[in-house]
Structure 1
Amino acid sequence: MTIHSFGAFGASLFLALVSPVSSPAQEVPDFRTRYQLGVVHLTVSGVDPATGLRVENRTGSGFFISEDRRLLTAKHLFLGSDQRPLTQIAVLGQIGTHQGRSFPLPAGALRLHPEFDVAMLTAADPSLAHRALPLCFDQPRRTGERIVALGFPRGQDYDQTDGTIRTTTVSFGEAWLTGADVNPGNSGGPALSLAGSVVGIVLGGFRERDIQGQNVILPLRVARNFIADVATIQQNCSGGAEQEPLGAAADRWIASAEQARSAGALIPGQPLPVGLTSSRAIFEHEWQNAGIAVRRGVAPQRLRRALSLTIRSYRLQEYGSPEQANALRWADEMIGFFREISSRRDLAEAMLEKAATYLEISQIHHTDRARFDRIARDGDKLMQDCFAIAEDDQKPELLRLWSRFYYNLARPSTGRLSDPWSDEFLALADRRIDEALRREPASLRNLNQKARVLQRRAKATIATPTDSWSQALWATQQRLLSAWNAQEQGLASPAERIPPLNILATLTLDAVVYQLALLGPDERTAQASRMIATIDEVGLPSQREAWGLVRNTDLARAYGFDTAYDLARLYALRAVLGALVAGRQIDGDVDNAILMLGHAREAATVPQLDAARASLEGDRVFVWLHSAARDRLVGVLAGSR
C-alpha cells in the first residue's frame, strides 16, 4: 500500500477512515455558521532544513480549543522534506474566510506532538474575540457513524463536508498521508460528531486502489495529554446545543457582520445591508429577552464580539450624528453586563467601545458649547475609569484612543481646520500618546498619532520657529520611517497602508518646511538639494502609493481629498526647492501640483474645499510659490481651470 507524503506518524497509530458517501438515515447539521469564528485558515512559510530552500504559502486549517487563544492543527504543515521541523517559520491566521481578518501566530509558541500529527499554536493578539470549539475526548466513534469536517479546502472558501466512519482500528506504522477527497487545505481542521463536538483532527486521504476516497481523521483522544500539558479544557460531548437561542443568534450576527465587512459592504453613513439588519435585530431581541442566567450561559468572548459589532454597526449608521444614541445605548448594555459578571478585562473592552463612540462624536464640528463641554467631560471621565481597570496590554490602545479624543477636541471651533487649534487639548493629546509610546515604542499606530499631534503643535509655532520643534519633527520622522520599513510587509490591505503612508509623507513635508522657516536665504540654498532628495526618497513615494491605493476605489470617499491634496503640496514644495537649486521653479512640479489639486477638488466636501482655499493664502508651501503658479492653483480650486 502506498501512502503519499502528507505527514509523519508514530508506530501503531489508530486512525479513523472516513468515506464521503453519506447515509440518508442521519441528518447532518450545518455547523459552518456556528463555528465560523472558531475555525482558522492557516498560511505557513519557512525554510526546509534538508534543502535550505524557502517553503512558501502552505495552507491548512486549525481551530481554537481554549479561552487563552490556543489552537490545534496538523504537524505536517510545519515539517520539511526529511520530517524535521521547518526553520524561520512564519504563520498567518485568518478567521471565517481565507480573505478574512489576518493575524500572526508566533512561531515561538509552536508546539509539535512528539509522536502524532498534531501541532499547537497560540494567537498573541488578546483582542481576538473568537471562541473555542467544544471538545470531546471520551466517547468512542463507531463504524457507520457520520463525521463532519470543517476547514478551507484547497486553501479557499470555508466549507463543511461529511462522511461515514468505515473503520476505527487501522494501524499504519510509519506513514505518509496525502489528500484525496479531503485535500491539503483541510489539514488540521476539526472533525465533529453530529452533536457538534470536536472528536478528531482532519489529516488527509489515501490514493491507493483499494482505499481511494478514504480520508484520515486522527481521534482527538490521542492529543488529550498534549493539550492538558498547557491548557485546562472542560470536555463537552454534547456540542453547542445549550447555546440556543441567544448563543445561536450571537453567532449568526457575528458571522453576518464579518462577512459584510470582508465584502466591503459597511460604509459610514450608509444603510446596512438588509440581511445584516435582520440578523442584528434577532440578536437584539434574544439579548433583551434573556435574563442574566441565560447570558452567563454563553461564552463571554462570544457576547463581547456580538455586542461590539452591534455598537460598531450603529456607529456606522449614525456617522456624523452629534448624539450616536443607539451606539451609546448598546455600549452601556455591554458595560452593564460585564460589570455584573465581574469580568474586568471584558469590562475594559466594553468601556473602550464606548470611548471609541465618544471619539466619533468628538470629531464632529459642535456649534453648541454646552454639548461640546459635556462630550469633553464625559469622554475624559470614561477614559480615566477605563484606564483604572484596564490590564497592561489594553492600556496602549486606550492611551492612543485618548490622545485621538483630545486631538479631535483641539479642532478649531470655527470648523475650518486651517484656523488655529487649541494647544491645551493638543498638549493633552501629546501627553497621552507619549505614554502609549513608552509602553509600545515601535508601534506604528502610536507613531502615526504622535506625528499628527506633533505636526499640529509645530505648525502653530512656525511664525517664530525654534530648533527644538524642528528637531522633534525630524526625530519623529526617523522613528516613523524606521517602524514603517520594519512593519510594512505585514500590512496587506489598503486600509492598513494608507494612513501610515500619508502621515509619513506629510510629516516629511512638514519637517522640511519647518527647517526652511528656520534657515536664512543662503542656508536654504545650500540645503535645498538634500531636502529634494528627502522628498524624492520618502515623501513622494509614500504619498504616490497612498494615492494609488485610494484612486478609483471605495476608499476615495474617506481618503480621496487628503491624499490628493497632500500630494499637491509635496509637488509644490519640490517646485519651491527646485527654484533654490536651479534659480527657477520646475514647471513639471507645478503642473503635477495643479493636477493633484484638481483631483482633490473633485473629492472635496464643502468644508474641505473652504479649508483648501484658505490654505493657499496661509500655507507656506503655496506662499513660497511664484505668483503665476499660485494663481493657477487658485483657479483650480475655483473651478475655472
Structure 2
Amino acid sequence: MDSELLKISGQVAGIGGVAIGGLILIYKDIIAKKIFPMLTKNQAYSLLKLLIILSWSIALTGIGAWTFVTVNSKNSNYSNGENHPKTFAKPVLDWVNIANEARKNKTIHPNRPLPNELVTKRAEFQNWWHNTTLNQKKKLDNKLLYDALSLTSRLYRIQELQSKTKPSATIWSENAVYYFEQVQNPEFLVESLLDKASIYLELSQIEHTDAEEFRRIAKDGDSVMAQAVSLANKKQKPGAYRIWSRFYYNLARPRDGNLSNNWDNNYLLISYQKMQTAFDIQPEEIKNATQLARITQKSAANPPQNNDPNWTKKLRESQQTLIAKWKEYESSLKTPKNRIPALNVLAVITLDIVRREWIESGRNKSNSKKTIAELEDIALPAQREVLALVHHTEWAEDYDFDMFYDLGRIYSLIVIIMDSIASDKAEGMFQEVIKNFKTARKNGTATQNDAAYHSIESDPNLSFLNSTRKKTLKRIFRPLKDNQKIGLSEKPLRTTLNESSCDSKADLVQQKINTQNYGEAKSLLSDLIQEFPSCSRVYYLNAILYYLKETKGGNLNEEQRINLEDKLKKALNYGTDECHLKNNETFTLLNDQDWFINLIKNCKQ
C-alpha cells in the first residue's frame, strides 16, 4: 500500500508528488501514536502547523528542482552534449562538429573524395534520422537539427556538383523542409527553403543551355521562393528577395534559349523590383550590389528600356555602387567563385553604360578617349581576371563561351569608337575581337553560336562595326552543315598554337592517368585548358580521365554516359580523330554501344 501511494503520487505530480507522498507516510506514523491528547492546544496547533509547512516546503523544493533541470536542459548550447542522453544526441552532435571542422579547414573539394571519418559520421547521422521518431527529434534544439540537415544536403551538393538531378542533396533538403513544417518553426523552415532554392539555382547553371529544362527548374524554384518570402523574418528578407529575383531573371530568358533575342519584359522587371527591394533592405552587402547591377544591365538592354535615357542613369548609378562595393570588399574576396560574379557583371555593365552615354552624347569625339579609357581601365581588366579565374572552378566548361564572348564584345566597342576617330590602333584591337570570338566559337553549343551569329546585327556593341568587320565575324559564327565538325571538315578556327608544347605537357597528364593519380591529373588538365584552350589532346585526355575516374573503365549509368558523351563530343570538335576513340583500349567496352558507334561512325578503319 505504501509503495502504491508513492507510485501514484509520483506519476501525478513528479518529484513534488514523491516528496508529499513520503511525508504523508512519515507523518501518518506520528499521528498514529495518538500524542495529541497529551499536548496542550497550543502545542498541538504548533505541531500541525510545522507538519504542513515542512510538507509544502519539501514539495515546492522538489518542483523547483525539476523545473530548473528541465528549463536548463532545453536552453543549453547544443555544442556541449552533456544535457542530452549520450546514446540519443551523439550521432547528431558528432556529425555537425566534424562537418563544420572540415568546412573550416577546407578539406572538402568536389574533385576529391570526402574524408573517411566524415563519411562515417554522416552515415551515422542519416541512420539516426531514419530511425528516430518525430517526438524524439523534437527533444533536440532546432538549430542543431537544422545544421545537421543543412550540412548533409550541402556536402551532397559538393559531391553531386555536375549531376543533373542532385538526388541526395535534394532528398535531404526536402527532409529539412518537411521536418520544420511539422514542428511549425518558420525561421528554420525558411532557411531550409533557401537551401532547396540554392539547389535549383545550381541545376539551372548546369542546364542553362537546355531551354525547356531550364524553364522548368526556374518555375519550381519560383514556387519555393514564394513560400520562403512569405515566411521570412526581417533578417532573412534580403537573401530571400535576392534569390527570388534570380528565379524571375531565369524565367525572363527567351524560351528558345537564344539569349540575343528579347527577354520577357514582365518577368525581367519583376526580377529588378525584387532585387531593388533586397538592396534597399541590405545595401551594405556586395552580393546585393552585384545582383542588382546584373539585372539592371539586362533590363536596360531589353526593349523599351534600351532607348530610355532614364535607364542609362540607372545603369550608371548601379555601376558606381558596384565599383564602390568592390573596392570595399576586394581584399576579403579570396576564392575564384567569390570574385568572378562581381568582376564579370562589372565588365558587362561598364560596356553597356559607356556605349549608351557615348551614343546619347551624339558620339562626340571629345568623349571618345574618355570612353575608351573607361573600357580599358575597368571593363577589360575585370573580364581578363574572370578568364584567368574561371578555369579553376567547376564553371570552366559551362561558361567558357560566355567569358570569351563578352571579352570580344568589349574589344569590339573599343574598335567601333576608334574607327569613329580614325585611330590607327583600331585594326590591332579588331584582331583581339577575332581571337576571342574564335575561342568562344570552339567552346559554344550550336544554340550559343547561332545566337552569336545573329547578334552581330542586333547587339549594338557589334552592329555599329563597319560591314567588312561584321562579315569577318559572321564567318566565325556561321552555322555548320550537318555532321560538320570544327577542326575536321572545316578549316580550324583557332589562333596559332605551339602544339609541341601542348603535347609535352599533355604527356605528363597521361603519365598521371596511367599511374591512377587522378587528382593531380585533373589539376594539371585545368591548367592546360587555360594555357592551350584549343589543343584537342587536352579535351581528349579530359574524357579519358572522367571515364576512368568515374567507372574505373567499366559500365556507365545514364548520367555518366551523358557526361562522357559530352566530353568526347568536345574532344572531336577540337580536332580529335574519331579513329583514336575507336582504337583506344580505354573505350573497348563502349565499342558495341549505339551512342559510341554514332560518335565514331566516320572512322573508316
TM-score (norm. length: structure 1): 0.56
- Counterpart of 2:178 (choices 314, 336, 348) is 336
Instruction: Return the alpha-carbon distance in structure 2 between the equivalents of residues 553 and 351 of structure 1.
Output: 26
Please give the residue correspondences for 1:118-129 in structure 2 after superposition, counting only pairs within 5 Å.
none
Tell me the residue number matched to 1:572.
412
1:415 alignment partner, one of 248, 251, 257: 257
Contact 2:450/2:477 (<8 A) preserved:
no
Give the Cα separation in 1 of the matches to 2:432 and 2:353: 21
Q: Contact between 2:268 and 2:299, CA under 8 Å: does it hold in 1?
A: yes
Distance 1:590 1:543, change over 3 A: same
1:600 to 440, 447, 464: 440
Q: 1:330 to 1:236 in 2, by over 3 A?
A: closer
CA offsets per residue over residues 218-259 of structure 1, 9 Å max, x none?
Answer: xxxxxxxxxxxxx98698668994455531563487269738
- Give the CA deviation at 1:410: 0.7
- The offset of 1:293, in angstroms, is 4.3
Measure how far apart 1:294 and its partner are.
4.2
Q: Which shows bigger deviation, 614-623 or 552-561?
A: 552-561
What is aligned with 1:525? 365
User: Partners in 2 of 1:319 and 1:463 — Cα distance?
Assistant: 37
Amino acid in structure 2 at the alignment position of 1:483:
K
Structure 2, unmatched stretches of 5+, are 1-74, 479-485, 494-605
1:393-542 equivalences under 5 Å are: 393-461=235-303, 465-520=307-362, 523-542=363-382
Q: Which amino acid aligns with 1:619?
A: D
Query: What is the deviation of 1:335?
Result: 1.6
- Using the alignment, how far apart are the partners of 2:459 and 2:203 within structure 1? 28
The corresponding residue for 1:265 is 110
Contiguous gaps of at least 5 residues in structure 1 = 1-230
Whole-Å Cα distance in 2 between the matches of residues 308 and 236 of structure 1? Answer: 19
Q: Residues 502 and 232 (structure 1 numbering): CA distance in 2 closer, same or farther, change over 3 Å?
A: same
Residue 592 to residue 367, structure 1, CA distance change in 2 (3 Å): closer
> 2: distance between equivalents of 1:536 and 1:238?
62
Paired with 1:614 and 1:260, the residues of 2 have a C-alpha distance of 48
Cα separation, 1, equivalents of 2:247 and 2:218? 10
Q: 496-505 or 589-598, which moves further after superposition? A: 589-598
- Shift in alpha-carbon separation, 1:479–1:472, aligned structure 2, 3 A: same
8 Å contact 1:247–1:298 — kept in the other structure? no
CA distance 1:375–1:511, change in 2 (3 Å):
closer
The structural deviation recorded for 1:473 is 1.0
User: Match for residue 47 of structure 1?
Assistant: none
Aligned 1:198-209 pairs, distance under 5 A: none
2:92 is matched with 247
What is the distance in 2 between the residues matched to 1:233 and 1:332? 26
CA distance in 2, matches of 1:274, 1:262: 8
Alignment of 1:304-343 (within 5 A): 304-313=146-155, 315=157, 326-343=168-185
How many positions carry a matched residue from both structures? 404
Higher strand share: 1
Q: CA, structure 1 residues 599+373, in 2 after alignment: closer, same or farther (shift >3 Å)? A: closer
Q: 1:357 to 1:549 in 2, by over 3 A?
A: closer
Is the contact made by 2:347 and 2:382 (CA closer than 8 Å) also made in structure 1? Answer: yes
Counterpart-to-counterpart distance in 1, 2:229 and 2:371: 42
Question: Which deviates more, 310-319 or 400-409?
Answer: 310-319
Letter in 2 for 1:352: L
Letter in 1 for 2:131: N
Superposed CA RMSD in Å reads 3.6
Q: Which deviates more from structure 2 when the two are superposed, residues 510-519 or residues 422-431? A: 510-519
| Secondary structure, counterpart of 2:109 in structure 1 | coil
Which position in structure 1 is the counterpart of 2:421?
A: 581
Q: Given that residues 404 and 439 in structure 2 are in contact (C-alpha distance below 8 angstroms), is that contact kept between their aligned partners in structure 1?
A: yes
Match of 1:388 among 227, 230, 236: 230
Counterpart of 2:470 in structure 1 is 630
User: Are 1:303 and 2:140 counterparts?
Assistant: no
User: 1:72-91 to 2 correspondence within 5 Å?
Assistant: none
More helix by share: 2
Residues 317 and 493 (structure 1 numbering): CA distance in 2 closer, same or farther, change over 3 Å? closer
2:403 corresponds, among 554, 563, 568, to 563
Amino acid at match of 1:510: D
1:422 deviates by: 0.6
CA–CA distance in structure 2, aligned partners of residues 592 and 413 of structure 1: 32
Shift of 1:471: 1.1
Shifted more, 285-294 versus 417-426: the winner is 285-294
From the superposition, tell whether residues 274 and 557 of structure 1 become closer, same or farther in structure 2 (CA, over 3 Å).
farther
Question: Is the 8 Å Cα contact of residues 305 and 311 (structure 2) preserved in structure 1?
Answer: no
* Partners of 1:482 and 1:367 in 2: CA distance: 35
Amino acid at match of 1:264: H
Deviation of 1:542 after TM superposition, in Å, equals: 1.3
Matched residue, 1:590:
430
TM-score of the two chains, using structure 2 as the length reference: 0.59
CA separation in 2, counterparts of 1:518 and 1:322?
Answer: 45
What CA distance in whole angstroms lies between the structure 2 residues aligned with 1:442 and 1:238? Answer: 39
- Counterparts of 2:256 and 2:159, CA distance in 1: 26
Cα deviation, residue 460, structure 1? 1.7
Distance (whole Å) between structure 2 residues aligned to residue 259 and residue 637 of structure 1: 45
> 2:307 is aligned with what amino acid?
P
How big is the shift at 1:511? 0.9
Out of 187, 190, 198, the residue aligned to residue 356 of structure 1 is 198
Separation (CA, whole Å) in 2 of partners of 1:602 and 1:374: 28
What SS does the aligned partner of 2:253 have? coil
1:376-409 CA distance string (max 9 Å, x none): 3x54443233223222111111010000010011
Task: Verify: 1:546 aligned to 2:386, yes or no.
Answer: yes
Equivalent positions of 1:26-65 (< 5 A) are none
Shift of 1:281: 4.6
Tell me how far 1:567 sits from its aligned partner.
1.4
Q: Deviations along 1:250-276, whole A, 9 cap, x unmatched?
A: 348726973896453259xxxx76957
Q: Is the 8 A contact 2:110 2:159 kept in 1?
A: no
The answer to whether the 8 A contact 2:200-2:217 is kept is no
Deviation of 1:438 after TM superposition, in Å, equals 0.8
Q: Provide the residue aligned with 1:347 in structure 2.
A: 189
| Contact 1:448-1:500 at 8 Å conserved across structures | yes
Cα contact 1:434–1:450 (8 A) shared by 2: yes
What letter corresponds to residue 465 of structure 1 in structure 2? N
Local SS of the residue matching 1:441: coil
Contact 2:272 2:296 in 1 (8 A): yes
**Alpha carbons of structure 1 residues 372 and 623: separation in structure 2 relative to 1, 3 Å:** closer
Give aligned-pair identity as a percent. Answer: 31
Secondary structure, in 3 states, of the residue corresponding to 2:130? helix
C-alpha distance in 1, partners of 2:132/2:305? 61
CA deviation digits over 1:145-172, x for unaligned, max 9? xxxxxxxxxxxxxxxxxxxxxxxxxxxx
Question: CA separation of 1:425/1:464 partners in 2, compared to 1, >3 Å: closer, same or farther?
Answer: closer
Q: Deviations over 1:586-618 (max 9, x none)?
A: 122112222222332343344333333332332
Q: What's the CA shift for 1:564?
A: 2.0
Which moved further from structure 2: 358-367 or 439-448?
358-367
